Amino acid sequence: MASPSDRSDKQPETGTNQNNQQPETDTNQNNEQPNTVVGRKRKKTSTIWEDFDEETKEGVKKAVCKYCKSEYATGGSGASTSHMRRHIAACLKKKMHESTQKKQATIPFQPSKSGGNPFITPGARYSNEKMREILATAIMVHEYPFSVVEDDILMWAFEYANPDFRKFSRKTTSSDCVALFENEKKELKKLLESVSKISLTTDMWKSSHQVVEYMVITGHFIDAGWNLQKRVLSFVKVPAPRRGIDVADAIYKCLKSWGIENKVFSVSVDNASYNDSCLRCCAHILNLLVQDGLSKIKDIIFNVRESVKYINHNDARLKAFCDVVEQRAYKEREPHYDLAPSPEEWNKVEKVCKLLEVFNRATHVISGSEYPTANLYLSEVWKVKQILDNADEDADLFMREMANPMKIKFDKYWGECNLLMSIASVLDPRCKFHMVRICFPTLYKSKEVADANIKKVKCSLEQLYDEYVALSLEESSATANLDSTSNPSSSQANAAVVRTGFDEIMSIIQENEAIPPKKSELQDYLDEGLYVPNSTSFCALDWWRNNSMKYKILSKMAADILAIPISTVASESTFSAGGRVIDERRTKLSEDSVEALICGA
């Protein structure tokens, strides 16, 4: 038997079953002010209101008993409630309800073994506001339309499960989603306060149902538990003409709103012309290389694709192909089909597939967002350069012709040394500087250029480490000053006490320890032998977490660098959700609602 609900003072909204083709609009464009998950009315102070609901009938406020529905006059806040107490003391239906409750033990909801229901609190009474929050969460996570709460059959199911359930409109649900997003945003802000550095990925997207373009900004960082986190921070419209300054302004506004404008470590973007000063997306560059190469054999690719389409056009044709494939007489059986690749073309396709297999593998590795990819950048770029050099020296002319434009594009984007990504490979304990020394002679044309870039990486690594050391000393000094100012009386008292010999020795030791050691953590790390993992499922971030006590400063630097994403796949994946949220029926949603639905999920 369901227990009575904790009802709010305001009457619930009653939804109607509207036409499913009606476009959804934002609640901010209507005069109605629906209830939201947050910002509830002030509760009644008297405990008698636990058994009564306040309703307005014909302009007069009435107190309605939750059990027998008897009505009593009420003067609002501060009015006498004695007559209501007398009724409750004699209400037969209330006594029957209490008797039933005593006989029927409360069902203790236990979390399931599959992870548990986060919305269930053992022993809690039903709350319609909690139900609204759950439905708002479902709409944001699963991208349901707001009108789902006005589906009669679904609402009947909720009422059947609990008669205390009360309907509400799509307008209320829209406001609930925005309110829920604002609450989640506050929690994320608290989390970002403890983050030292954050790396960003961003990309542009144009809805097929609107004439505007959106920009998504995703933050990547390492939390206090050494877990790689990613969060969609913003999904906003960028006004025309969308030049570099417009994009930069939109990014800065996002950072300012989150309070992380001084914590940005890197920004990874696509390959648009206005992004020349940012870290370019590796996946985009690999795609450009492949497209340039395939343009040389586009006729062969067209024939192969048309052949596959022709065979798979219907099941009868596919069966016929399977029957004759061993007879090698397909051309004679299908005299009207003239797009079949020749044996020479099939040999070319086989060679191209072996070449593209390397690109496919590299794209798969660098597109991950659940593990660090910065330390894998250099090895994948080196592998691509190696395969292009081999293709450029191939005996077949068509392979050389295909490799040439790909190498030109490679030199355009990766011809210069990427210091930050090279440093990331050094911070992989399996490789350290060996990765740089092996890869650079292949990546650069001459030994002199390779040696100069190796030296540049080493100097940049030392300079970056020195910055982290200075920052660590500043934090230690600030903490010491805070401790001394917060407890001045104890400091004065200690000064008046005669110091013991042990105190004198400890003072000398602390002064000596304050002097930076001759051998830094960085040098100690580089001088140690390479780490050999027991399995292939090695994660550099886990290694630094396990060695954070040994390398207190260097581990912080490693965490910030390993959090850098080398592709914008994390941001681009948001666009698939954007296409579902901003469909042909939801083109009138406001910017706030769109951002809440995309970022809140």
550-591 per-position pLDDT tens digit: 999 999 999 999 999 887 665 666 555 555 556 665 666 777
Q: Which 3 state secondary structure label does DSSP give 335? A: coil
Judge whether 201 and 572 are in contact, CB under 8 Å.
no
Whichever domain contains 198, its CATH number is 3.30.420
Mean pLDDT of 426-447: 91
If asked whether residues 316 and 246 sit together in one domain, one would say no
| % the chain with pLDDT above 90 | 18
If asked whether residues 322 and 300 sit together in one domain, one would say yes
Residue 472, pLDDT > 60, answer yes
CA 268 to chain centre: 15
Residue 509, pLDDT > 80, answer no
Whether 230 is in a domain gets the answer yes
If asked whether residues 275 and 383 sit together in one domain, one would say no
If asked whether residues 223 and 326 sit together in one domain, one would say no
Residue 39, pLDDT > 80, answer no
Q: Residue 86 has what pLDDT? A: 87
How many domains would you assign to the chain?
A: 2
If asked whether residues 393 and 299 sit together in one domain, one would say yes
Q: Select from 366, 383, 414 the last residue of a domain.
A: 414
Closest CA to 556 of 224, 231, 200: 224
Residue 181, pLDDT > 60, answer yes
If asked whether residues 253 and 287 sit together in one domain, one would say no
Give the pLDDT band of residue 359 (cuts 50, 70, 90).
confident
The pair of structure tokens assigned to 400 is 């050389």
Mean pLDDT of 342-370: 83
Mean pLDDT of 251-259: 89
Give the pLDDT band of residue 333 (cuts 50, 70, 90).
low
Give the pLDDT band of residue 465 (cuts 50, 70, 90).
very high
Mean pLDDT value across the chain: 77
Q: Residue 304 has what pLDDT? A: 80
Mean pLDDT of 137-143: 86
If asked whether residues 291 and 329 sit together in one domain, one would say yes
Closest CA to 53 of 5, 101, 87, 85: 5
Residue 318, pLDDT > 50, answer yes
pTM score: 0.65
If asked whether residues 235 and 323 sit together in one domain, one would say no
Whether 186 is in a domain gets the answer no
Mean pLDDT of 351-361: 87
Give, for 143, the enclosing helix (H) or strand (E): none
Residue 107, pLDDT > 70, answer no
Whether 558 is in a domain gets the answer no
Give residue-wise pLDDT tens across range 270-317. Answer: 655 545 545 556 666 777 777 777 777 778 888 888 888 877 877 777
Domain that holds residue 260: 194-281+568-600
| % the chain with pLDDT above 70 | 74
Give residue-wise pLDDT tens across range 380-426. Answer: 889 988 888 888 888 888 888 888 888 888 888 777 778 888 999 99
Q: How far apart are the first and last CA of the chain?
A: 34
If asked whether residues 380 and 267 sit together in one domain, one would say no
Give the pLDDT band of residue 548 (cuts 50, 70, 90).
very high
If asked whether residues 267 and 363 sit together in one domain, one would say no
If asked whether residues 301 and 325 sit together in one domain, one would say yes
Judge whether 235 and 594 are in contact, CB under 8 Å.
yes
If asked whether residues 229 and 312 sit together in one domain, one would say no
